[in-house]
Structure 1
Amino acid sequence: MARVTDQTFSSAIVSFHRDELGDWFARLACGHHQHTRHQPPWVNRPWIETEAGRQSMIGKLLVCKKCAQGLPADDIPSV
């Protein structure tokens, strides 16, 4: 049986939006959304805090846990 890796469920970042609490989400090419918080020391993503940083990550891959679970695409946010 083939070994499933994180790369199997990776998807490119296509854009960013904030949730109702102001936290950043990445919208992925697969149709899912994923929080992209900067919360050192557990999560180190200082690039999320600036427009230039977020733009530099467009096209980069993130592991999509929702794809791994076989979940349907998320709704597109209205804001």
Structure 2
Amino acid sequence: MYIARPIGYNCHLSFPPGTPPMQQPIIGYHRDEDDHWVAELACGHNQHVRHDPPWQNCSWVTTSEGRAQMLGFKLECKKCDEGSPRDQQPREVR
């Protein structure tokens, strides 16, 4: 199964070689100011999940059924690996 990653994900990572990246389950979604879908992760970080073929193939994000099926799916959270503070969550889902 394809794991959604932001563009530029394979750039320098802050964890030691051989250390697996932090996996965090999706607990919800919202749209950003540009109307792109953002996954809300259990750790408190947000991660864009875009369907933008051929670069990013996340067709599941285009339907409410697809998004619901991916709740609980674990994404690699680079922000956790970097020790970043939690992201601000939206007050309401659009």
Counterpart of 1:67 in structure 2 is: 80
The normalised TM-score by structure 1 is 0.91
For structure 2, the residue ranges without an aligned partner over 5 or more in a row are 1-15
Higher strand fraction (1 or 2): 1
Distance 2:17 2:30 in 1: 35
For structure 1, the residue ranges without an aligned partner over 5 or more in a row are none
Distance 2:57 2:41 in 1: 19
The normalised TM-score by structure 2 is 0.77
Counterpart of 1:5 in structure 2 is: 20
Number of equivalenced pairs:
77
What amino acid is aligned across from residue 61 of structure 1 in structure 2? K
Structure 2 residue matching 1:56: 3-state secondary structure:
helix
| Structure 2 counterparts to residues 38-57 of structure 1, below 5 A | 38-57=51-70
1:29 and 2:42 correspond: yes
Distance 1:74 1:5 in 2: 22
